[in-house]
Amino acid sequence: MSQRLTADLIVTGAAQLVTMAKSERVPRIGPELRELSIVRDGSFAVANGRIIAVGSRDHVFAAVSASAQTRKLDVAGGVIIPGFVDCHTHTVFAEYRLDEYEWRVAGTPYAEIAARGGGIAKSVEHLRATPQSTLLERTRQRVYSAIRHGTTTIEIKSGYGLSLEHELKQLRVVRQLRDELPIQVVATFLGAHAIPPEARSDREGYVQALIHEMIPAVAAEGLAEFNDVFCEVGAFSREETERILRSGQRAGLKARIHADELTDTGGAELAATVGAVSADHLKKTNDQGIDRMAKAGVFGVLLPGTSFGLPSLDFAPALKMVEAGVRLALASDFNPGSSTSESMPMMTSIACSHMRLSPAEALSMATYNPAFVLGRENEVGSIEIGKRADFLVLDGQDYREVMNHFGVNPVARVFVSGREWDRTERHRE
């Protein structure tokens, strides 16, 4: 008989232990999105930051050993879910675009806001004027807030530098946070977020700089895993997007696309053509694009906070995508202009209220599925043996309260690799 592992932590008493476990480690699609693998009166054990047993209390205590040093956590009828995986954010920025917010809620059209110098260009101006040390501290505080709201894995993009110097500045901030924080931090290069003001008379020159200078520099320094492009009227054409993405792929960066957000540019179909990991936004994607994504296994990353924040209340056709069998994830798109919230619980609430997703579908898309988007499916996204013990204890009696009780933080306690994250921004030993 094999020797039982000794647990560092044993968690008991969960009225709902939402494990998100799946017999095969593949993304959930269609009806599978509603299968949460909930264990009633559930327990699990952790050793060295990893889950070593999951099931009923009796099963867990029979499967592991306890020592005098083993910590016991009885959640007394509470709810436990995996930590949120936020797979699309723009968290490194200098400041919020508050003037633009006032204009927007007063009904000022986007074109007029842009003409006033708003939008991405304003964030570029802010970021270029901000020292890296200041960016680091501001971003650190935002990530702390995301953790308090239950995010234990976060992707962060560049895209507000739009020059080699300032894109590298953003990505170095991400790298420093990745090295200092216990959560998983994943970096994406988004130098192709917009044409910078100084290059508006020479679009091709900027595309060439992306391909021949910026992508090679990012790859050489190991600053990003993904290369993203904003494929949109006024940003980058489909042809430019493909060139930039394929350049990134040659350099070892996996492709992602901001696709079909404002107009149907064929971005979803392009994502399938180039073998992108994901196409994100997708408010204007047509049926052919949805079908191509489903067949190619491209993830659709839906960003309800952006529609809510603009406020356009024009959302991606989530139910149509579910029915078509598209792999789907939800993310915050946290940024200084259109989606100014780092709260993944709020994103799931908006997705249910406005996209008509069920609470179970929204939770699958905010935990289990986005782990695949980031290539972390063997590490996070569910409470299963071998994975990191990243989990949340909710302030409620049912996981559906996350979506139903909106506008508050439903997360009572956050655990990262089996250790509690203190709400005062310290990581408890």
Among 64-73, 113-122, 239-248, where is mean pLDDT lowest?
113-122
As a whole number, mean pLDDT of residues 312-323 equals 96
Does residue 265 lie in a domain region? yes
Q: Verify that 228 and 127 share a domain, yes or no.
A: yes
Does residue 427 lie in a domain region? no
Distance, C-alpha 339 to centroid of its chain:
13
pLDDT tier for residue 428 given thresholds of 50, 70 and 90: very low
Residue 388 DSSP class:
B
Q: Model-level pTM greater than 0.95?
A: yes
Q: Verify that 342 and 256 share a domain, yes or no.
A: yes
Distance, in Å, from the CA atom of 55 to the CA atom of 202, rounded to the nearest integer, reads 60
Range of the domain at 21: 5-83+381-421
As a whole number, mean pLDDT of residues 3-7 equals 91
- Average pLDDT of the chain is 96
Percent residues over pLDDT 70 in the chain: 98
Express each pLDDT in 332-360 by its tens digit.
Answer: 999 999 999 999 999 999 999 999 999 99
Distance, in Å, from the CA atom of 71 to the CA atom of 12, rounded to the nearest integer, reads 11
Question: What integer pLDDT is reported at residue 2 of this predicted model?
Answer: 59
Q: Verify that 22 and 102 share a domain, yes or no.
A: no
Q: Verify that 259 and 407 share a domain, yes or no.
A: no
Per-residue burial over 245-259, b if 16 or more Cβ lie within 10 Å, else e, is bebbbebebbbbbbb
Q: Is the pLDDT of residue 427 over 60?
A: no
Distance, in Å, from the CA atom of 154 to the CA atom of 87, rounded to the nearest integer, reads 6
| Cβ neighbours for 277, distance < 8 A, ≥ 6 positions apart | 226, 254, 255, 256, 298, 299, 373, 375
CATH of the domain at 283: 3.20.20.140
Q: Verify that 183 and 250 share a domain, yes or no.
A: yes
Q: Secondary structure of the chain: what % helix, strand, coil (to 5)?
A: 40, 25, 40
Higher pLDDT: 423 or 323? It is 323
CA-only gyration radius of the chain, Å: 21
Residue 212 DSSP class:
I
**Domain count within the chain:** 2
As a whole number, mean pLDDT of residues 360-379 equals 98
Dihedral angle computed from the Cα positions of residues 63, 68, 70 and 71, in that order, rounded to the nearest 10 degrees: 130
Residue 165 CB-density burial (10 A; 0-12 exposed, 13-18 middle, 19+ buried):
exposed
Q: Is the pLDDT of residue 425 over 60?
A: no
Express each pLDDT in 131-177 by its tens digit.
Answer: 999 999 999 999 999 999 999 999 999 999 999 999 999 999 999 99
Q: Verify that 53 and 164 share a domain, yes or no.
A: no
Distance, in Å, from the CA atom of 355 to the CA atom of 319, rounded to the nearest integer, reads 7
Q: Verify that 273 and 160 share a domain, yes or no.
A: yes
421: which 2 tokens?
A: 């994250």
Q: Verify that 158 and 286 share a domain, yes or no.
A: yes
Question: What integer pLDDT is reported at residue 429 of this predicted model?
Answer: 38
304: which 2 tokens?
A: 């309800």
Q: Verify that 357 and 386 share a domain, yes or no.
A: no
235: which 2 tokens?
A: 């940003």
Q: Verify that 236 and 301 share a domain, yes or no.
A: yes
Express each pLDDT in 233-256 by its tens digit.
Answer: 999 999 999 999 999 999 999 999
As a whole number, mean pLDDT of residues 393-419 equals 97
